[in-house]
A and B are shown apart, each in its own frame.
Chain A
């Protein structure tokens, strides 16, 4: 046996027992299988969205827009054909904007207090803030309804507003807290050591640090308010929001304009998302 033979034999044996090769192959196979599954799940997430967009071009024969009849552009030509639908959408936007504006102030103050200061009872405050997130909407709606009945308050715009602020505060506080945790708050001390007044420090140092977190929280809160059906249903009285209009339509007649406006809202969100991403990228680069 020559040296070369021995080397070849050793190599062959090493090749047989070397566990890394088949393992790597296994990983690669598992990898692509994983990607396929993830892709299918993503497709599943978008399936109803495709249907919604498609049916905004449908030309339904009856009252309901559930089966495909034929392609038309007339729904898009006349998106605001139903004043009740448009009015409901405006009402929802109004409630989302006003409730978010109030809840952002209340929620952000709590979040900053929780992140920046250690104080007695902060753990209890923490747990207390989670509770509204863990109450099923049907229970929250029911409890607010009994409160308003006890108070003798008529349900309507103001009770919807009250209810929305109540569930938004916790979401905002938790989101802002998550975003501002880990910031270097000694920057504030540095600013003051360098002679800036507390007010100036707040506007020049603190605010720029926490604003992105607040904006993210406000967007989330706005979306939650716009989308809320169950709690609103309990406390709305005769006021009609966008989801409430949709629910009433399901029982009576579903105009394709519902799909048109839903698609438009989706497109606007997509645009905002894209602009936000580009803006962030530009700021990092520039």
Chain B
């Protein structure tokens, strides 16, 4: 009997490594190695003609300084838009997540299903629908015009706010779900205790609910901020040439202009900025609340 136990224990010592090996090997080849390709490309200098570009590796750090000085506006705009969109997502998602977690009763699962449902429509078609909603002759512009919130020749489409609105809409689900999960974990008895001890609502919110919801707030903010920073569809469909983001530049440099070194330098720079934030985050809070 002892022999059986020890052999099964021995087997289980190698077993986890065998189980993680295929996935890790796959991610090593198709997630890690691509970054080396990207890094090599970003340090190459381009030669040859436009039709037959020829890259030679040259430790060319000039690609980075060139790219970052040339596209400084787009980089700042991307981080600004993503930041505002994240705040808007938080403000919109919190009341909804709160009501679903505490007030929905038996309709909880139904409401969760309803919240997820719009995201079964392809991202691009959702964004196109906003193009219709925000159109110059649409009812939203009309309504805001009559209310006086928008000047008579004012428009929504092709403005920064249209792009930010699109970013907010497209990723708000990644804010609602983690917020809901962390609110749902709160023991309602804590809220009762706080109330029984005559804590005013505002203080219960600040001292009990908010601290306990913090992991959800942070996870949601990251899950909204990252795809927003790198997006180019919202700026493409809802914005104008004045609202291009870093994603638009990377996409254009890679797929249209085919200036691979500059595009690679921009991509890696963006990734580096984000990675610093993520590592700080996981060090502080772990990975449990991310999905």
Contacts and interface: CB of A to CB of B under 8 A. Distances in A.
A173 to B, nearest CB: 7
Interface string A108-128: 011011101101001001111
A138 B278 contact: no
Contacts of B278: 130-131, 134
B68 interface: no
A111 to B, nearest CB: 9
A38 B120 contact: no
Given A119-B16, A134-B222, A233-B255, A48 B95 contact: no
A67 to B, nearest CB: 7
Contacts of B290: 130, 133, 174
Interface in B132-189: 132-133, 135, 137, 169, 172
Given A37-B95, A174-B290, A138 B247 contact: yes
Interface in A1-60: 19, 23, 26-27, 30-31, 34-35, 37-38, 41-42, 44-49, 51-52, 55
A166 interface: yes
Contacts of A30: 201
Contact of A229 (B111, B124, B169): B124
B59 interface: no
Closest 8 CB pairs of A and B: A136-B230, A48-B129, A143-B34, A174-B291, A113-B19, A38-B99, A106-B23, A147-B34
Contact of A138 (B12, B31, B118, B230): B230
Contacts of A122: 16
Contact of A51 (B15, B129, B274, B282): B129
A44 B131 CA distance: 15
* Interface SS of A by simple majority: helix
Interface in B1-35: 12-13, 15-17, 19-20, 22-24, 26-27, 30-31, 33-35
Given A134-B274, A147-B34, A247 B124 contact: yes
Interface string B237-257: 100000000110011001100
Interface stretch (B69-77, B207-215, B264-272): B264-272
Interface string A222-248: 010011011001100000001100110
Given A136-B274, A147-B37, A166 B27 contact: yes
A110 B19 contact: yes
Given A230-B233, A277-B113, A254 B128 contact: yes
A205 interface: no
B56 interface: no
A175 B291 contact: yes
Contacts of A55: 129, 132
A163 to B, nearest CB: 7
B96 interface: yes
A120 B118 CA distance: 42
12 contacts: A41-B92, A41-B95, A117-B15, A132-B27, A133-B291, A136-B229, A139-B38, A163-B30, A223-B120, A230-B233, A258-B125, A269-B117
Nearest to A223: B120
A38 B95 contact: yes
A165 B30 contact: yes
Nearest to A112: B19
Interface of A: 19, 23, 26-27, 30-31, 34-35, 37-38, 41-42, 44-49, 51-52, 55, 66-67, 105-107, 109-110, 112-114, 116-117, 119, 122, 125-140, 142-147, 149-150, 162-163, 165-166, 169-171, 173-175, 178, 223, 226-227, 229-230, 233-234, 242-243, 246-247, 250, 254, 258-259, 262, 265-266, 269-270, 273, 277
A50 to B, nearest CB: 9
A143 B130 CA distance: 31
Interface residues of B, number: 87
Contacts of A138: 230-232, 246-247, 250-251, 267, 270
A136 B270 contact: yes
B277 to A, nearest CB: 9
Contacts of B126: 48-49, 52
Contacts of B124: 229, 243, 246-247, 250
B64 interface: no
Nearest to B204: A27
Contacts of B121: 48-49, 52, 262, 265-266
Contact of B118 (A45, A106, A146, A173): A45
B21 to A, nearest CB: 9
A243 B34 contact: no
A178 B291 contact: yes
A143 B42 CA distance: 11
A113 B128 contact: no
Contacts of B30: 144, 147, 162-163, 165-166
